[in-house]
Amino acid sequence: MILILHSQEDLRLAHAETQALMPKAVSHGLWSTVKRASPTIRRLAYSRMALRILWEGRAGSFWKKGPPDFTRAMPKGSFAVRFRSLDGDSGKTGSGKLDARKVIERVAAGCRGKKVDLAHPRNTIWCITQKDRLFIGLQTWKNEERFAGRRNHLRRARAPVSLHPKLARAMVNLTGVRTSGMILDPLCGTGGILIEAGLMGIRVTGQDIDRVMVDRTKKNLAGFRIQGKVIQKDVFLSRQAVSYVVTDPPYGKNTSIRGDAAVFYARIIRKLAAITRKRIVVSFPRTYDPRPTARTCNLKLVGVFDHVLHRSLTKVIYVFEKDSRR
């Protein structure tokens, strides 16, 4: 069994992203579990790490039997044991049954013949506790993505507005696209969504009405050694049928929408419905609700996520699926 520990920034998004990539995952608050490890775990934006569970149970029962033997479950090389309480304290659980130091010592004693290396361990065993539950697991993945280093102002070519890379990655994942698949962003700006998809190995196609944006996206993709097709095109003239669309239409003061924003957004929804075969992940400002229009064009809503960008702007991310029943 694999435990995926989510980051607490946005748990709903973390669960939805996990479910989209691993439909058999089961959500449990701060973590999800899956029976088998999958390489797609590495794509998760709003998760911290994955553990192969070696022991789990009530904290009290950890002390009842003799020390567990983890020797055979441990891969070759040195190890370190770490402890994390998800209750926001320093290791004492609510029931007072757990003391971080004692747990670590007992787990380390269960790894006989293995060398401890606290500075550069080859393997890390985590003891994770919440309330009276304890998980002991071997870390199989740690999220080391440097999202902050890919923010708009640090890229080769900047945009007036661009999504945070972590959010862009989660949006791509919400499509459920396989790593061998392809996504289209038909309003790609400087390519924030395409960069995250491309870094996960997904094939990317971008379009933007503005030639300057097209050139900037090309520069940005090249900066990350991502190959992708990027062309200048008005979304309303797009005829390319694709399985997955992920996009972030213009909004707010920094982007120019000629005429009524609601009319423009409704046209976008209709166009995306016409060109997409499977899933659309699209963000809108809170002031616009795409659901009534989506219903008229055969789109089934499968998720809605509020995401506060800053004090004056909350984006709402919608996940729509082509309704095959109609």
**Residues at the contact surface with ligand SAM, assessed by CB under 6 A:** 159, 161-163, 168, 186-193, 207-210, 213, 234-236, 248-250, 255
Least distance in angstroms from the C-beta of 313 to ligand SAM: 11
For ligand SAM, the closer CB: 98 or 193: 193
CA–CA gap between residue 44 and residue 50 (Å, rounded): 10
For ligand SAM, the closer CB: 67 or 285: 285
For ligand SAM, the closer CB: 107 or 195: 195
For ligand SAM, the closer CB: 105 or 234: 234
For ligand SAM, the closer CB: 172 or 294: 172
Residue appearing with tokens 């029931």: 95
For ligand SAM, the closer CB: 110 or 191: 191
Is residue 83 within 8 Å of 93, Cβ to Cβ? no
CA–CA gap between residue 124 and residue 104 (Å, rounded): 12
For ligand SAM, the closer CB: 45 or 213: 213
Least distance in angstroms from the C-beta of 113 to ligand SAM: 51
Q: Among 169, 167, 173, 177, which residue's Cα sits nearest to residue 278?
A: 177
Least distance in angstroms from the C-beta of 16 to ligand SAM: 19
What burial class does residue 326 get, using C-beta atoms within 10 Å of its C-beta: 0-12 exposed, 13-18 middle, 19+ buried?
A: exposed
Q: Find the DSSP H helices in the chain.
A: 11-21, 61-64, 100-109, 165-174, 192-199, 211-223, 261-275, 291-296
Least distance in angstroms from the C-beta of 34 to ligand SAM: 30
SS3 of residue 269 by DSSP: helix
CA–CA gap between residue 151 and residue 19 (Å, rounded): 26
Least distance in angstroms from the C-beta of 2 to ligand SAM: 31
Least distance in angstroms from the C-beta of 284 to ligand SAM: 11
Least distance in angstroms from the C-beta of 23 to ligand SAM: 27
Neighbouring residues of 237: CB distance < 8 A, sequence distance ≥ 6: none
Is residue 113 within 8 Å of 39, Cβ to Cβ? no
